[in-house]
């Protein structure tokens, strides 16, 4: 250390509400080449994208220490009070101006939301009032790092203390090899608002003890403890056999923050062994298989629907509000539909409460096909239901359509009769049978609609579709449909 003391970073309490954590360290007498410099920048970007979760959790700032003078202060100020020359710009701007300028910057515009609407913005100063950076947006130009930089001051600020420490550890371990004093890093002290002081980087090495037979058992191999230790060491997890000869002590370096459980060590051992070298074995697990009853019923019905001359469609579960309400003459509030938040397009506004729109859209997309078009689908619809743990549930519906020069009510009616026959539901209201009763609905042509009652409950409707429905779905021919809930027949 030039003057015998390490760098200090003081955090003020204003940062608490916006970006409370900061860590710092110094790389002394580093020798950059163009490649190393590019790699240094690239590492920061990669870390920002991954573990830093696009700078929201942690943001990294690296500075030419020789252009600055500590101690440094990390605080938060009103945007109008922050003014500096940011990286690669020629004049000074206030933070407000920068927020505007970067709105059109393809790289930085994605990060503005992290601090944009806050009353105070984070900012780091040196002892002369020079601004190092305004995290997580941009560094100052003053302390810009070049290929000629010899001493680097690294600061990481963020909302996740653990991740900030990990990120700092990764940077210094990766680049300390280019310091004159290879593989050494100079510590820095960070003082928190409550007076607590920490030294970084932590570079915590952790030791974990794992039984050799555990690794063998989980992977499915039979290696000696010594061999396993060798395999792990090859993966940069320095290991040695200890104790009774069955235990392996593994040193987990700070660059392996992903190793948090013995299973992570097991994976590394398996990788070193070579996945394709492991012997394949069949589990001795003896089980009798069962079908999910609703799916079993669906499979049986599907085949007979095709035998009845109808063709199966597979339509989207997500659609527009219009599709399940307006186009069917209903108000959306009457549908008990589940709504998606912030849909990108109208196609993702709601989950379908009926299979009918999907089938009608299928007909519309296949207008050139010869008539009649006879389609069906047996699949789930979604409705709100407060008796369920999530507040919504699926119902398995069966829907069929007949589209031709004539509406074919008798054909759809005949299909219903056939389905009831297959489900062994006799005609007639008594004895758990089925019956249809004249009904009406905004989606149906007046006088050509019926509600279906089976086993004591209403299971759906059938009828000739209302011309308004036909035209709203961009169709031209008469059409009749049937839609029932098949769950009562389980």
Least distance in Å: CB of 57 to another protein?
Answer: 6
> According to the binding rule CB under 8 A, does residue 286 interact with another protein?
yes
Nearer to another protein, 309 or 427 (CB): 309
> According to the binding rule CB under 8 A, does residue 295 interact with another protein?
yes
Give, as ranges, the residues between 392 and 411 that touch another protein (CB under 8 A). 392-394, 396
Q: What separation in angstroms does the CA of 4 have from each of 1, 7, 439?
A: 5, 10, 92
- The encoded tokens of residue 163 equal 């991740």
> According to the binding rule CB under 8 A, does residue 8 interact with another protein?
no
Measured distance CA(351)–CA(381) in Å, rounded: 7
> According to the binding rule CB under 8 A, does residue 341 interact with another protein?
yes
Measured distance CA(372)–CA(97) in Å, rounded: 64
> According to the binding rule CB under 8 A, does residue 201 interact with another protein?
no
Beta-bridge partners for 383: 393
> According to the binding rule CB under 8 A, does residue 144 interact with another protein?
no
Candidates 2-10, 128-136, 279-287, 406-414; binding stretch for another protein (CB under 8 A): 279-287
> According to the binding rule CB under 8 A, does residue 217 interact with another protein?
yes
**Total residues contacting another protein (rule CB under 8 A)?**
89
Q: CB-based contacts of 256: which residues, under 8 Å, 6+ apart?
A: 236, 237
Measured distance CA(240)–CA(225) in Å, rounded: 9
Among residues 197, 213, 220, 474, which is the contact residue for another protein, using CB under 8 A? 220
Among residues 342, 405, 431, 447, which is the contact residue for another protein, using CB under 8 A? 342
> According to the binding rule CB under 8 A, does residue 472 interact with another protein?
no
> Would you call 114 helix, strand, or coil by DSSP?
helix
> DSSP string spanning 160-207?
-HHHHHHHHHHHHHHHGGGBSSTT--EEEEEE-TTS-EEEE-----EE
Nearer to another protein, 34 or 113 (CB): 113
Look at strands 373-384 and 457-465 and give their pairing. Answer: unpaired
> According to the binding rule CB under 8 A, does residue 371 interact with another protein?
no
Measured distance CA(250)–CA(206) in Å, rounded: 8
Closest CA to 108 of 133, 126, 125: 133
Q: CB-based contacts of 255: which residues, under 8 Å, 6+ apart?
A: 169, 170, 173, 174, 236
Least distance in Å: CB of 117 to another protein?
Answer: 17
Least distance in Å: CB of 119 to another protein?
Answer: 23
CA angle 235, 236, 240 (to 5 degrees): 95
Candidates 61-69, 238-246, 383-391, 456-464; binding stretch for another protein (CB under 8 A): 383-391
Q: CB-based contacts of 406: which residues, under 8 Å, 6+ apart?
A: 478
Q: Quick check: 473 and 364 in contact, CB under 8 A? A: yes
Candidates 83-91, 99-107, 360-368, 405-413; binding stretch for another protein (CB under 8 A): 360-368
> According to the binding rule CB under 8 A, does residue 331 interact with another protein?
no
Least distance in Å: CB of 95 to another protein?
Answer: 26
Closest CA to 443 of 461, 459, 431: 461
- The encoded tokens of residue 453 equal 């009652």
Among residues 128, 129, 244, 314, which is the contact residue for another protein, using CB under 8 A? 314
Nearer to another protein, 106 or 275 (CB): 275
Query: Taking each helix axis from N to C terminus, what angle separates 212-219 and 225-234, rounded to the nearest 10 degrees?
Result: 80
Nearer to another protein, 10 or 270 (CB): 270
- The encoded tokens of residue 49 equal 């994208």
Measured distance CA(113)–CA(99) in Å, rounded: 10
Nearer to another protein, 63 or 374 (CB): 374
> According to the binding rule CB under 8 A, does residue 321 interact with another protein?
no
Beta-bridge partners for 454: 434, 457
Measured distance CA(382)–CA(339) in Å, rounded: 10
> Would you call 57 helix, strand, or coil by DSSP?
coil
Closest CA to 31 of 172, 144, 185, 178: 178
Look at strands 457-465 and 444-454 and give their pairing. Answer: antiparallel
Among residues 36, 77, 230, 302, which is the contact residue for another protein, using CB under 8 A? 302
Least distance in Å: CB of 383 to another protein?
Answer: 10
- Eight-state DSSP code of residue 296: H
Nearer to another protein, 161 or 453 (CB): 161
> According to the binding rule CB under 8 A, does residue 290 interact with another protein?
yes
Least distance in Å: CB of 204 to another protein?
Answer: 11
Candidates 77-85, 114-122, 282-290, 418-426; binding stretch for another protein (CB under 8 A): 282-290
Among residues 1, 41, 369, 371, which is the contact residue for another protein, using CB under 8 A? 369
Residue whose entry in the numeric block shows the structure tokens 């948090």: 260
> According to the binding rule CB under 8 A, does residue 373 interact with another protein?
yes
> According to the binding rule CB under 8 A, does residue 288 interact with another protein?
yes
Least distance in Å: CB of 10 to another protein?
Answer: 24
Task: Give me the count of residues in the chain.
Answer: 490
Candidates 67-75, 98-106, 168-176, 336-344; binding stretch for another protein (CB under 8 A): 336-344
Give, as ranges, the residues between 426 and 465 that touch another protein (CB under 8 A). none
Candidates 60-68, 119-127, 176-184, 378-386; binding stretch for another protein (CB under 8 A): 378-386
Which ranges constitute the DSSP H helices of 7-114? 34-49, 95-101
Least distance in Å: CB of 2 to another protein?
Answer: 35
> According to the binding rule CB under 8 A, does residue 333 interact with another protein?
no
Least distance in Å: CB of 201 to another protein?
Answer: 17
């Amino acid at each position: 250390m030039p003057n015998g003391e390490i760098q200090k970073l003081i955090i003020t309490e204003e940062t608490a509400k916006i970006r409370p954590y900061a860590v710092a360290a110094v790389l002394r007498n580093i020798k950059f080449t163009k490649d190393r410099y590019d790699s240094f920048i690239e590492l920061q970007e990669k870390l920002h994208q991954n573990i830093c979760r696009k700078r929201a959790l942690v943001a990294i700032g690296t500075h030419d220490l020789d252009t600055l003078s500590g101690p440094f202060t990390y605080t938060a100020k009103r945007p109008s009070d922050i003014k500096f020359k940011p990286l690669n710009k020629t004049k000074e701007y206030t933070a407000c101006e920068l927020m505007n300028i970067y709105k059109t910057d393809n790289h930085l515009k994605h990060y503005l939301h992290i601090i944009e609407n806050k009353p105070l913005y984070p900012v780091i100063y040196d002892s002369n009032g020079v601004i190092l950076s305004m995290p997580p947006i941009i560094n100052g130009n003053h302390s810009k790092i070049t290929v000629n930089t010899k001493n680097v001051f690294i600061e990481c600020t963020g909302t996740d203390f653990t991740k900030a420490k990990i990120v700092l550890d990764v940077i210094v371990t990766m680049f300390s090899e280019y310091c004159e004093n290879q593989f050494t890093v100079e510590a820095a002290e960070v003082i928190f608002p409550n007076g607590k002081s920490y030294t970084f980087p932590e570079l915590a090495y952790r030791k974990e003890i794992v039984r050799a037979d555990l690794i063998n058992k989980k992977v499915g191999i039979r290696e000696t403890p010594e061999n396993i230790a060798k395999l792990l060491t090859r993966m940069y997890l320095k290991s040695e056999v200890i104790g009774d000869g069955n235990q392996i002590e593994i040193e987990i370096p700070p660059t392996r923050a992903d190793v948090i459980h013995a299973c992570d060590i097991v994976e590394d051992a398996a990788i070193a062994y070579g996945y394709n070298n492991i012997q394949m074995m069949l589990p001795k697990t003896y089980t009798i298989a069962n079908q999910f009853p609703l799916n079993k019923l669906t499979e049986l019905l599907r085949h007979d629907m095709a035998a009845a001359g109808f063709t199966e469609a597979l339509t989207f579960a997500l659609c527009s509000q219009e599709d399940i309400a307006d186009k069917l003459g209903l108000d959306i509030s009457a549908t008990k539909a589940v709504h998606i938040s912030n849909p990108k397009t109208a196609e993702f506004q709601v989950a379908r409460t009926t299979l009918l729109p999907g089938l009608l859209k299928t007909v519309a997309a296949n207008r050139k096909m010869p008539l009649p078009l006879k389609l069906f689908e047996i699949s789930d619809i979604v409705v709100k239901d407060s008796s369920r743990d999530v507040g919504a549930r699926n119902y398995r519906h069966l829907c069929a359509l007949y589209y031709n020069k004539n509406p074919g009510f008798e054909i759809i009616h005949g299909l219903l009769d056939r389905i009831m026959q297959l489900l062994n539901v006799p005609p007639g209201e008594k004895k758990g049978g089925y019956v249809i009763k004249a009904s009406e609905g905004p989606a149906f042509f007046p006088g050509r609609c019926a509600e279906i009652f089976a086993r004591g409950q209403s299971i759906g409707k059938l009828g000739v579709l209302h011309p308004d429905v036909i035209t709203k779905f961009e169709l031209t021919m008469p059409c009749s449909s049937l839609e029932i809930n098949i769950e009562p027949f389980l």
